Amino acid sequence: MKKGTALRMAGGILVALASFHAWSQPSEQGAAMPGSAVKSARSDRAANRALRRKVFAAIAKHKEISAGNISVVAKSGDVTLYGTVVDASQIDNVAEIAKGVPGVTSVTNKLTVEKPFGGQ
């Protein structure tokens, strides 16, 4: 596979993952939020998105881990990892990588092992 094709594919996967995990925050209907609360909620969501990106980027740096099968959810420094890895030893490895990212206060690891198609 050519390098350019691989880079485009990896970029497409990252965009798909980022858009897959972006959802609107629930709010009470009819309840008006003061201006400072709206700004605070926006900044909290922005901080959560930034932390999620940092954690995912740290995991993606490790080529032995298939980061395309891992999703990251961040909320106020608490990170939850979902998805699959191909080896049981990678489960703890991914959690340690996430714990090493600045801003992460706790990690909940919900990763499972799934052999690649055709694997033994």
User: Is residue 103 a part of any domain in this protein?
Assistant: yes
CATH code, domain with 76: 3.30.1340
Tell me the per-residue pLDDT of 55-91, one tens digit each, with 9 for 90 and over.
999 999 999 888 889 999 999 999 999 999 988 889 9
Confidence of residue 5 (pLDDT cuts 50, 70, 90): confident
User: Is residue 58 a part of any domain in this protein?
Assistant: no
User: Is residue 83 a part of any domain in this protein?
Assistant: yes
User: Is residue 17 a part of any domain in this protein?
Assistant: no
User: Is residue 105 a part of any domain in this protein?
Assistant: yes
Task: Give the number of domains in the chain.
Answer: 1
Q: 85, 8, 100: which is closest to 54 by C-alpha?
A: 100
Domain holding 70, by residue range, is 64-120
